[in-house]
Amino acid sequence: MLLKVIVCEVTDVAGFAAAQAGWSALRGRPGFLAQAGGWSDPCTARIVGCWRDRAALRAFMADGHDAIAAGQRDTFRRAEVHHFQVVRAFGKPFPATLATARIIRFAYGPSHPPADADFVRPGHTLAALLAVADDGQPLAVAACSSGDGVPLEPAWTV
């Protein structure tokens, strides 16, 4: 599984949030598994997308991405996009848990593996992943029912 993590510095919060619902057009795209996101602070949106593999994401980027993205074009100043290959999964299937999760947690770097008791909290963590970027940077991401992290916006979940 491939994760696409997007961090946007938003200038038009209401416009961005409304346009984010347009990403529901991802449903049914070959290789698309799930997407969710929320606000890590009042002007920073964090979104994680799950794809079967890099080929499926490339196909979408070549045919379909720009039409959906056009609705958000003037709502943010900057976007960082990173791709991570999942190397280990913990708990329930991650894409399916995004539909019921309320919080998503991100931890970059080798000091926060998903098995770490400080990161994966029994009773709160539904699923967790360990993934690695092309440059070798590790990422741990967890979908949680409660706790600290990025509160998910239900309208952004696909």
Ranges of each domain in the chain: 2-156
pLDDT > 70: percent of the chain: 91
Q: Is the dihedral of CA 7, 9, 14, 15 positive or negative?
A: negative
Average pLDDT over residues 76-81: 96
CB 110 within 8 A of CB 65: no
H runs (alpha helix) in 11-111: 13-20, 54-62, 65-69, 94-97
Sorting pLDDT into bands at 50, 70 and 90, what band is 71? Answer: confident
The CATH architecture one would assign to domain 2-156 is 2-Layer Sandwich (3.30)
Separation of alpha carbons 83 and 79, rounded Å: 13
* Residue 13 neighbours by CB distance under 10 Å: 14
Is the model's pLDDT at 43 over the cut of 70?
yes
pLDDT tens-digit profile of 90-148?
A: 889 999 999 999 999 998 876 555 555 566 666 678 888 889 998 888 998 999 988 88
State residue 112's pLDDT score: 54
State residue 122's pLDDT score: 65
Helix/strand/coil percentages in the chain, nearest 5? 25, 45, 35
Q: Model-level pTM?
A: 0.90
